[in-house]
Every structure is written in structure tokens, then in C-alpha cells.
Amino acid sequence: MDWRFLAAGVAMIITGSVISILYGSILLAGPLEEFNPSRGIAQIGGIIGGIGVLLTLVSFGLRRRKRPSDEDSTSAASTKQDGF
């Protein structure tokens, strides 16, 4: 699990949900002139939340790769120097 992807996904889910809820309520309560811009912004909030869900799911499948230890290469070089 990669914690950076998980944190970014959760943040995007929260942000998208808040945007959708706020602008969705403007859709229902606002005048007709506010309808189209609010609907577009609410849809963008839904898209952001959907991408956040995908990032969260992807984070569970990711594994951090272990880097090859540098000790092997340095110890091999040091034994060569010690041998001479």
C-alpha cells in the first residue's frame, strides 16, 4: 500500500463530495440563472470524487519496491581494496 496515493485519494474524495454537495444545494435553491454554472461545477466535483475513489483503490494494489542494498556493492569494493 502506498500511503501517498491513499492520502491523495481520500483528500480528493472529500473535496469532490464537498464541492458536489455545496453546488448541488445551489442548484435546488438558486434562481434559474445560476443553474447551468452550478450544475457544471457540481459535475466537476463528482468527477474529482470519482478520481479519488480510483486513486484509493489503486493505492491498495501498489507495493513499495525495495531498493537493492548499497552494502553489497560497497562491501565487495572494500574487500578488493583490503586484499591488496
Predicted pLDDT at 45: 93
Over 90: is that where the pLDDT of 35 sits? no
For Cα atoms 29, 32, 17, give the angle at the middle one, nearest 5 degrees: 50
Burial class of residue 72 in the structure, from the number of CB atoms within 10 Å of its CB (0-12 exposed, 13-18 middle, 19+ buried): exposed
Average pLDDT value over all residues in the chain: 80
